[in-house]
Amino acid sequence: MATMWISQLAERSGVPATTLRFYEDAGLLTAGRSPAGYRMYGEDAVTRLAFIGSAKHLGLPLAEIWELLGVWEDGACADVKADLRPRIAARLAEAEHRLAELSAFTDSLHGVLRNLDTLPDRAVPCDAECGFPDGPLPAGTPVDAPVDTPVDTHADQPIACSLTGEGMTDRVAAWRTVTEGAARTPFPGGLRLALPAGRAAAVAELAAAEQRCCPFFDFRLRFAGEMIELEVRAPADAAPLLTDLFS
């Protein structure tokens, strides 16, 4: 049976070598060893990774994917269907809940922008006549707006991303576009980016999409006058990924 080095499997599958090693540690992928101790993979690893990628795109956590892999390998197609259906129904309910939250949040952001557009342009320090106390969200008053997950839940998430290949390239490009020119301030466990308030909706939408494929990231959006602050947190093991994506 033909075998591949980890670099060859990464190229064939579009899954980074770091993620392949993580999958092996998590029990999702099996690797043989060469006489020199290097990881070696069979052709079946490509199919297995495609299955894992499909399951992650459905929003399944790695623990459930591990369970589903056992059914997929040993059971009939009907068994996979019976096992998968309740899992997808649960993910669908979660996605609809997140969508409702994001829709309400987007409506609030549009309200803030409409309020900002009606405020007078004054060449004096801000006071009550500026109108900042009015509007859906008081500009100038910090307002925490967590995106998608509760505070600190990212610490329990596996360091793996379901995006691969072209999808990952497009996501990186999207983040670099929306954060262009941002003032970046690192802090323990994360990075803070200061951006114009006009990008708030795009940032919120992109952060929500990011957490669906990389749930170990934790996003917090704060309004401060005509600026927004995006805080991105990640576990220590994901620090290189945070730096690559947001720095």
Give the CB-side neighbour count of residue 145, counting CA atoms within 13 A.
25
Indicate the residue type of 7. Answer: S
Average pLDDT per 10 consecutive residues for the chain, totaling 247 residues: 82 87 84 86 88 83 85 84 87 80 79 77 71 46 40 52 70 85 87 88 85 84 82 84 79
Report the distance separating Cα 89 and Cα 104, nearest Å.
23
Q: 159 and 113: one domain? A: yes
| pLDDT of res. 121 | 77
Same-domain check for residues 241 and 141: yes
pLDDT at position 147: 42
81 with 134, same domain: the answer is: no
- On whether the pTM is more than 0.85, the answer is no
pLDDT of residue 203: 87
Query: What six digits make up the tokens of 101?
Result: 């939250």
125, 52: one domain: no
| Helix, strand or coil, per DSSP, at residue 140 | coil
Same domain, residue pair 51 and 147: no
Q: Could you tell me how far CA 151 lies from the centroid of its own chain?
A: 15
Structure confidence by residue, pLDDT tens digits, 81-111: 888 888 888 888 877 887 787 777 787 788 7
Give yes or no: residues 174 and 72 share one domain: no
In this structure, the answer to whether residues 105 and 227 fall within a common structural domain is yes
Burial of 58: CB neighbours in 10 Å, binned 0-12, 13-18, 19+: middle
Residues 4, 20: Cα–Cα separation, whole Å: 13
How many CB atoms neighbour CB 68 within 10 A? 20
pLDDT at 88: 86
- Two structure tokens written together for 53: 């990628």
Enclosing domain of residue 188: 97-246
User: Which pLDDT belongs to residue 197?
Assistant: 84
d(CA 16, CA 199) in angstroms, rounded, equals 31
Closest CA to 65 of 107, 16, 110, 29: 29
Q: What is the pLDDT of residue 130?
A: 63
Domain boundary among 61, 85, 109: 85
Going by C-alpha positions, the residue among 45, 56, 42, 44 that lies closest to residue 20 is 45
* pLDDT given for residue 148 in this prediction: 39
pLDDT computed for residue 141 by the predictor: 38
Secondary element (H or E) of residue 207: helix 200-213
| Residue 91 placed within a domain | no
- At residue 224, the pLDDT reads 72
Predicted confidence at residue 125, as pLDDT, reads 77
Residue 137's pLDDT is what? Answer: 43
